[in-house]
Structure 1
Amino acid sequence: MKAAFNTLGCRVNLYETEAMIEKFIKEGYDIVEFDDFADVYVINTCTVTNMGDKKSRQMIRRAKKNNKNSVVAVVGCYAQIASKEISTIEGVDVVLGTRNKGEIVYWVNRAKEEKKQFIVVNDVLKNKVFEDLNIEEYQDKTRAFLKIQDGCNRFCSYCLIPFARGAVCSKKPDKVLEEVKKLAQHGFEEIILSGIHIASYGVDLEGEWDLLKILEEVNKVEGIRRIRIGSIDPTFFKEDVIKRIASLEKMCPHFHLSLQSGCDETLKRMNRRYTSEEYKNAVMNLRKYIKNVSITTDVIVGFPGETEEEFNKTYEFLDTIKLSKMHIFKYSPRKGTKAASMKNQVDGNIKEDRSHKLIELDKKLEQEFIKKFIGKNLKVLFEQNYNNNEKLYEGYTENYIKVVAECECNVKDKIITTEITGIKDGNAQGKILL
């Protein structure tokens, strides 16, 4: 029997897919590429944007084209939000919500045996229990994602995620540390702690556990050389927190601080719980205490009511603080959110124009950041060959600069000191120092 997977969305989804793959392997399945012939296709969906929904539906149809007799299981955020809609799509056999992925093999086998559709979607707003999807054997050996938190209590006015993921819940600290140790034993040198709102880690746990404390404990685990955290709320980075993080020798100097807008009026309508000045202070303090730190972000353009003046405030703010990388998104109305019913929805052409302007700014700022390190030696974790060239490798520095370097020997999965020599095709070029 063969199973194939397609993952859309965030790092949490990547982790959960890895856990589901392991469950199928233990049941005797061989894992193949999604476009290959398989008996089972699992689509782990995203619903952050309308495009995520659209891609999910495309994957469902592609699976049935590969094998019309296959069992198709649709799981995750889109499945949680729109289970009835998905169940009407021809060929869908199993629909599982965000807190039911651990049961995937059971429901797939039932659908296969009984030739009927199963929809298993619980009310996540009432479910405050963390679903442990522990991984015993990892398929990749370079960087490992570890989900330590789920759910979100923020309810930003544009976002469906609290409705898809439910209330905040955290993986128990002993379970986190146990899994980190297993990762080290499997040869991983870099782990990425991930969550839906990872800054909320520990609020539902007894004792004094929070994200900072779990980072300090993970830092003590032998064998792990690099620690990263996923996208995080800027309010987490108070000055005393940054000082403690700066003392963790394994903590990578790279943080993805969600911004969304550099205009306070827009932030207020978004129900983001910080101001542009507070965000700027977090950035300045990170740069003050952490050497060579890289700060990346997400920005939404065309949010309802965003005037030309408000957009210009965002542009000027970003041009001033000079982050190393920005992911630009055009606002996408999500049915069921407050923003979808707001007045003054922005025209699509205006969104496109603003998106283009920020993408161009991003390219400029990213190049400026890389140039600071030309002539310097940085440690790079090489992950794979570049453009299928057996002599070229690509990987990331501790501060998340993508580096391409040539080497006659195999450097995959190794952290190697590399001199940054220049920039080509938007990537840093390196000389490996063996």
Structure 2
Amino acid sequence: MGEKTVAICTLGCKVNQYESAALAQSFKEKGYRIVDFKDLADIYIVNTCTVTHLGDRKSRQLIRRAARANPGALIVVTGCYAQIAPDEVGRIPGVNLVVGTRGRSKLVELVEAASKEREPLCLVSEFQAGEQFEEIAALPLDGRTRAFLKIQEGCTNFCTYCIVPHTRGPLRSRRPENVLRAAREIVAAGYREIVLTGIRTGAYGQDLDRDLSLAALLRALSEIPGLLRVRLSSIEPNDITLELVEVLAGLKNFCRHLHVPLQSGDDEILQKMGRRYTTCEYARLAEVLRDNLPGLGLTTDVIAGFPGESERNFENTVRYIERISFSGLHVFKFSPRRGTPAAGFADQIKPGIKEQRSRRLIESGKKLAARFAGSLVGQELDVLVEQRAGEEGSLYEGLTGNYVKVLFPGREELRGKVVRLKMLESEGTTLKGFLCE
């Protein structure tokens, strides 16, 4: 019997990407070979997303594509869509195993059992009080220059539009000793930047100990030799404390970039969203962050077309985004999620209007990102070299601490290293520079 092959396809957020990489490593350690999802495989794993209806649709399309590619393959569906709609997923022809957002530390064993039985199996259950963070033993090292490290799971904010608290459950933090051990292993494997990720990263430690916090974890991580850069994938405005700001300001290895979701620049819409802050409070937070973290790249999420969003509400958001002067935007069109309050709100916005507003916000985001990149011209910045830019030539691309892409003439031996570059010019949202030697 030959080597069994596994193909994994991932939809959605950085947490999903981390989990897929960890699952791939788990299968490798058990003797399986990982192949591209386009290739013929014995086992197909679809790690789904359900943040929008497009995530649901893409998930179903991928499942059907796998079933067509190899009708004899074992098809496994996991992730948020599988957690929230297991029966719906299980009815898709070809699906053999449905596992939600829990129990994935044993996915290899579950797959092997399902391979023998060949009867459709659904292993999705409700979240229970007192659950702990689920450790996936394998370290997801996928050959890239930055390593993602999941430190936390779950959210209890219950914003009116968001399905995630239902798909990911309550807050569960990874034990600090396990985070630090994984970080040391990542550094030993040659990585120089770690991106801390989670569903609500800023709530780290709240379920474990009163003295445990994200600030305390960052302090401990800063003492690991060889860890040159630490980055946060995202953090909620209400989770940014003065203690955290002070710690970030004092850490030499913290990347000067924060992604702090805004969602709307209008107080009426923020209240309907259940966001628990005002535009004045967010603006004050942005001011505090920039005062304490010079050169900060501040990016955000914005939702276009939330129910009841009038032209006035929308124009307030456009002006507010310009006022805060973000360095980048992630724009989402509102998508009603079954089971959330906002799905039943009156005054749902027509798709065409959502599309128009989304496009306008995206254009605003591009202009802001280009402006921020231009503001860095003339500076000397540390850049993590990620890859060659294109198939040929000597141009390489890297990432500044404040999350701007840089192109520069480099050498292969610099890949994965942090180098000092002088920023020569900007072209759109990209910088061009040269080595300071």
Structure 2: how far apart are the matches of 1:424 and 1:291? 23
Which residue does 1:217 correspond to in 2?
Answer: 220
Deviation at 1:86, TM superposition (A): 0.5
Residue number among 238, 241, 245 corresponding to 1:242 in the alignment: 245
Find out whether 1:394 has 2:397 as its counterpart.
yes
1:349-370 per-position Cα deviation (integer Å, ceiling 9, x unaligned): 1111111111111111111101
Residue number among 81, 88, 106 corresponding to 1:85 in the alignment: 88
Structure 2 residue runs of 5 or longer lacking an equivalent are none
- Farther-moved stretch of structure 1 (118-127 vs 14-23): 118-127
Q: Is the 8 A contact 1:45 1:76 kept in 2?
A: yes
Residue number among 153, 163, 167 corresponding to 2:166 in the alignment: 163
Structure 2: how far apart are the matches of 1:82 and 1:13? 17
Deviation at 1:408, TM superposition (A): 4.6
Which residue does 1:372 correspond to in 2?
Answer: 375
Structure 1: how far apart are the matches of 2:15 and 2:161? 20
Q: Is the 8 A contact 1:127 1:166 kept in 2?
A: no
Find out whether 1:427 has 2:422 as its counterpart.
no
Which residue does 1:182 correspond to in 2?
Answer: 185
Letter in 2 for 1:250: N
Query: What SS class does the counterpart of residue 88 from structure 2 fall into?
Result: helix
Residue number among 38, 47, 56 corresponding to 2:59 in the alignment: 56
Find out whether 1:255 has 2:258 as its counterpart.
yes
Deviation at 1:135, TM superposition (A): 2.8
Which residue does 1:71 correspond to in 2?
Answer: 74
Task: Tell me the TM-score normalised to structure 1 length.
Answer: 0.97
1:121-161 per-position Cα deviation (integer Å, ceiling 9, x unaligned): 12125462110113346222411111110000000000110
Find out whether 1:31 has 2:34 as its counterpart.
yes
Residue number among 411, 415, 420 corresponding to 1:412 in the alignment: 415
Letter in 2 for 1:293: L
Deviation at 1:245, TM superposition (A): 1.4
1:164-207 per-position Cα deviation (integer Å, ceiling 9, x unaligned): 00010100111111111111111111001111011111111034
Structure 2: how far apart are the matches of 1:409 and 1:197? 37
Distance 1:306 1:125, change over 3 A: farther
1:215-242 per-position Cα deviation (integer Å, ceiling 9, x unaligned): 1111111110000112111122234431
Which residue does 1:288 correspond to in 2?
Answer: 291
1:318-361 per-position Cα deviation (integer Å, ceiling 9, x unaligned): 11110000011110011111000000001111111111111111
Structure 2: how far apart are the matches of 1:21 and 1:166? 24
Give identity over the alignment, percent.
Answer: 40
Q: Is the 8 A contact 1:376 1:420 kept in 2?
A: yes
1:33-67 per-position Cα deviation (integer Å, ceiling 9, x unaligned): 11011111111111111111111111112212322
Deviation at 1:423, TM superposition (A): 2.4
Structure 1: how far apart are the matches of 2:109 and 2:262? 40
Structure 2: how far apart are the matches of 1:426 and 1:245? 26
Query: What SS class does the counterpart of residue 414 from structure 2 fall into?
Result: coil
- Length, aligned pairs only: 434
Structure 1 residue runs of 5 or longer lacking an equivalent are none
Letter in 2 for 1:194: T
Which residue does 1:103 correspond to in 2?
Answer: 106
Query: What SS class does the counterpart of residue 389 from structure 1 fall into?
Result: coil
Query: What SS class does the counterpart of residue 241 from structure 1 fall into?
Result: helix
Which residue does 1:264 correspond to in 2?
Answer: 267
Structure 2: how far apart are the matches of 1:127 and 1:395? 42
Task: Tell me the TM-score normalised to structure 2 length.
Answer: 0.96
Structure 2: how far apart are the matches of 1:313 and 1:306? 10
Find out whether 1:172 has 2:178 as its counterpart.
no
Residue number among 317, 326, 344 corresponding to 1:323 in the alignment: 326
Deviation at 1:391, TM superposition (A): 2.4
Q: Is the 8 A contact 2:405 2:429 kept in 1?
A: no
1:238-295 per-position Cα deviation (integer Å, ceiling 9, x unaligned): 3443122100111110000010001111011000011111111111111101121100
Query: What SS class does the counterpart of residue 134 from structure 1 fall into?
Result: coil
Query: What SS class does the counterpart of residue 319 from structure 2 fall into?
Result: helix
Deviation at 1:115, TM superposition (A): 1.5
Letter in 2 for 1:26: E
Query: What SS class does the counterpart of residue 300 from structure 1 fall into?
Result: strand
Structure 1: how far apart are the matches of 2:409 and 2:401? 19
Letter in 2 for 1:5: I
Q: Is the 8 A contact 1:227 1:252 kept in 2?
A: yes
Which residue does 2:196 correspond to in 1?
Answer: 193
Structure 1: how far apart are the matches of 2:411 and 2:203? 45
Q: Is the 8 A contact 1:107 1:118 kept in 2?
A: no
Which residue does 2:148 correspond to in 1?
Answer: 145
Deviation at 1:433, TM superposition (A): 3.3
Which residue does 1:313 correspond to in 2?
Answer: 316
Which residue does 1:233 correspond to in 2?
Answer: 236
Which residue does 1:154 correspond to in 2?
Answer: 157
Letter in 2 for 1:238: T
1:353-409 per-position Cα deviation (integer Å, ceiling 9, x unaligned): 111111111111111101111122211111122233352222210111111223254
Letter in 1 for 2:222: N
Which residue does 1:123 correspond to in 2?
Answer: 126
Which residue does 1:13 correspond to in 2?
Answer: 16
Find out whether 1:42 has 2:45 as its counterpart.
yes
Q: Is the 8 A contact 2:265 2:317 kept in 1?
A: yes
Query: What SS class does the counterpart of residue 21 from structure 2 fall into?
Result: helix
Which residue does 2:363 correspond to in 1?
Answer: 360
Q: Is the 8 A contact 1:239 1:282 kept in 2?
A: no
Structure 1: how far apart are the matches of 2:224 and 2:131? 29
Structure 2: how far apart are the matches of 1:388 and 1:155? 46
Structure 1: how far apart are the matches of 2:176 and 2:397? 33
